[in-house]
Amino acid sequence: MGESLMTTAKTTHIAGEHITIEGRWLRQRCSWCGYVILDYDLSLTASNDGKGPHVWTAGSLVDISGVNPIYSALNQDESLPDTFCGASETFGASPTTSEECNQ
Ligand SMILES: [Zn+2]
């Protein structure tokens, strides 16, 4: 039971399409919650192959944990984990709860 206290909080986001503006500013956000997954000023980013930094394929599940985030991709066919950033939401629900509707 105390095990969970030892683990670093982890959140799983869904990568959206990355965009590059003016060939310089690269940003990639979570498609679901808008969390900024990648944010680069390419003029300050060294690249060995000239292709720029790694970006996630849109739709990838990306785990982010720790102060210095650790990124890891999950398999597409896995169900959404408990750490999914939208896990506390009820899918397809209206903004009001059913309890409120019944009053
Ligand atoms: Zn997210």
Cα atoms in the Cβ-side hemisphere of radius 13 Å centred on 69: 14
Closest to 67 (Cα-Cα) out of 2, 23, 9: 9
Residue whose entry in the numeric block shows the structure tokens 């944990």: 65
HSE-CB for 23 with a 13 A CA cutoff: 2
Residue type, 54: H
Per-residue model confidence as pLDDT tens digits over 4-63: 444 568 898 999 999 999 989 999 999 999 999 999 999 887 766 667 788 988 988 888
Which pTM value belongs to this model? 0.68
Q: What spacing in Å lies between the alpha carbon of 103 and ligand 1's midpoint?
A: 33
pLDDT for residue 4: 46
Q: Looking at residue 25, what is its pLDDT?
A: 94
C-alpha of residue 45 to centroid of ligand 1, in Å? 25
